[in-house]
């Protein structure tokens, strides 16, 4: 399958594995890349830039196919040496970076100097246009259905994708709520050049998280997610567990007086990491998107990518073309 995205990335298929905190390790990224898609290592999952360099080297030993690194630029309690992480990426020879959160503008000169192609994740048309003006090679447009941070506009992909496609010149990746080949066909019809999947790749054999988490995703419906941090205007979609429900209770009770300090212990990243690793679904906050309602199996990455492409092709040829007969 050839699109502007496969030409940009050098992959067989226009599918990207989203960068996910405490999930995007070399095991998953290499398996996705070996399947013909683009695997992504999550940069800030690694404690230090030196650790990231070692993880990249480990992935390079596990695949000879293209893969990228996610660098999420968000406000944090503890300052992050983003410049050092960016340098670890380019000095390791990685040529594809997925950025998210704040604008990648401070790092574009460094990335351009080393021939790195930047794909910036955006939750709105205006942010997509800004990324294009900065020289990003592509944008990954995130609809409200997505896991993680969907922005504050609450626009779903059925509207957001064609709105962005209408004004963009660079390749556009559809992201958020996608987990089937039929959805991929729909995204291509709406103007996307490929898709990005996060939650769907969590429920694969190679995903380095506990089987309890994978089963929770399979058993969860599209209604089993929660939106937290809305009063703080830093909305995140997470799996609806006991912690998320308690956070929502505190947010309702606090009203206009809501402060992050009221929930900081509950949502600590360390607890979410433990939940993913040890399989206690209710131990901490962890992200999962509405697409979990469409996930009913835990295949290998190779099986998943093959099935997505097969279903996408069949949907276009058998369903859509047949409507014109």
Predicted confidence (pLDDT) per residue in 13-46, tens digit = 999 999 999 999 999 999 999 999 999 999 999 9
The pTM for the full model equals: 0.96
Predicted confidence (pLDDT) per residue in 242-273, tens digit = 999 999 999 999 999 999 999 999 999 999 99
With beta carbons less than 8 A apart as the criterion, state whether 120 and 131 touch: yes
pLDDT, mean over the chain: 96
With beta carbons less than 8 A apart as the criterion, state whether 277 and 137 touch: no
- What whole-number distance in Å separates Cα of residue 67 and Cα of residue 15? 12
Q: Secondary structure of the chain in the HEC alphabet?
A: CCCHHHHHHCCCCCEEECCCCCCCCHHHHHHHHHCCCEEEEEHHHCCCHHHHHHHHHHHHHHCCCCEEEEEEECCCCCCCCHHHHHHHHHHCCCCEEEEEECCCHHHHHHHHHCCCEEEEEECCHHHHHHHHHHCCCEEEEECCCCCECCCCCCCCHHHHHHHHHCCCCCCEEEECCCCCHHHHHHHHHCCCCEEEECHHHHCCCCCCCCHHHHHHHHHCCCCCEEEECHHHCCCEEEECCHHHHHHHHHHHHHHHHCCHHHCCCCCCHHHHHHHHHHCCCCCCCCCCCHHHHHCCCCCCHHHHHHHHHHHHHHHHHHHHHHHHC
Q: Nearest to residue 29, comparing CAs of 213, 208, 171?
A: 208
Q: What is the pLDDT of residue 319?
A: 86
**Fold of the domain spanning 4-208:** TIM Barrel (3.20.20)
For residue 200 the two structure tokens come to 């769907």
For residue 60 the two structure tokens come to 């390079």
Q: What is the CB neighbour count within 10 angstroms for residue 156?
A: 15
Q: What is the pLDDT of residue 78?
A: 78
- What whole-number distance in Å separates Cα of residue 256 and Cα of residue 158? 32
For residue 28 the two structure tokens come to 């998953």
Q: What is the pLDDT along the chain (325 residues), one digit of tens a residue?
A: 999 999 999 999 999 999 999 999 999 999 999 999 999 999 999 999 999 999 999 999 999 999 999 999 987 767 899 999 999 999 999 999 999 999 999 999 999 999 999 999 999 999 999 999 999 999 999 999 999 999 999 999 999 999 999 999 999 999 999 999 999 999 999 999 999 999 999 999 999 999 999 999 999 999 999 999 999 999 999 999 999 999 999 999 999 999 999 999 999 999 999 999 999 999 999 999 999 999 999 999 999 999 999 999 999 998 888 888 7
Q: Helix axis angle, 157-165 relative to 125-134, nearest 10°?
A: 40
């Amino acid at each position: 399958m050839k699109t502007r995205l496969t030409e940009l990335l050098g992959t067989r298929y226009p599918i990207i594995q989203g960068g996910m905190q405490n999930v995007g390790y070399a095991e998953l990224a290499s398996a996705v890349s070996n399947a013909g898609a683009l695997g992504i290592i999550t940069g800030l999952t690694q404690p230090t830039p030196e650790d990231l360099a070692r993880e990249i080297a480990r992935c390079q030993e596990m695949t000879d196919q293209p893969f990228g690194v996610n660098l999420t630029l968000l406000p944090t309690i503890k300052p992050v040496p983003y410049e050092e992480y960016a340098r670890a990426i380019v000095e390791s020879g990685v040529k594809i970076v997925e950025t998210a959160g704040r604008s990648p503008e401070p790092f574009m000169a460094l990335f351009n100097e080393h021939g790195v192609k930047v794909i910036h994740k955006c939750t709105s048309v205006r942010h997509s246009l800004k990324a294009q003006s900065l020289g990003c090679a592509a944008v990954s447009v995130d609809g409200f259905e997505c896991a993680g941070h969907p922005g504050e506009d609450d626009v779903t992909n059925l509207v957001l994708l064609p709105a962005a496609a209408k004004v963009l010149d660079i390749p556009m990746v559809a992201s958020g709520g996608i987990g089937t080949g039929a959805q991929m066909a729909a995204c291509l019809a709406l103007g996307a050049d490929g898709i990005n999947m996060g939650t769907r790749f969590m429920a694969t054999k190679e995903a380095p998280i506990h089987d309890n988490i994978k089963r929770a995703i399979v058993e969860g419906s599209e209604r089993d997610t929660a939106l937290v941090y809305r009063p703080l205007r830093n909305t995140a979609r997470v799996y609806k567990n006991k912690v998320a429900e308690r956070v929502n209770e505190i947010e309702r009770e606090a009203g206009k007086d809501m402060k992050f300090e009221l929930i900081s212990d509950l949502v600590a990243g360390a607890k979410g990491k433990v939940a993913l690793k040890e399989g206690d679904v209710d131990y901490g906050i962890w992200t999962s998107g509405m697409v979990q309602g469409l996930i009913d199996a835990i295949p290998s990455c190779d099986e998943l990518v093959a099935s997505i492409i097969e279903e996408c092709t069949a949907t276009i040829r058998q369903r859509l073309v047949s409507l014109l007969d």
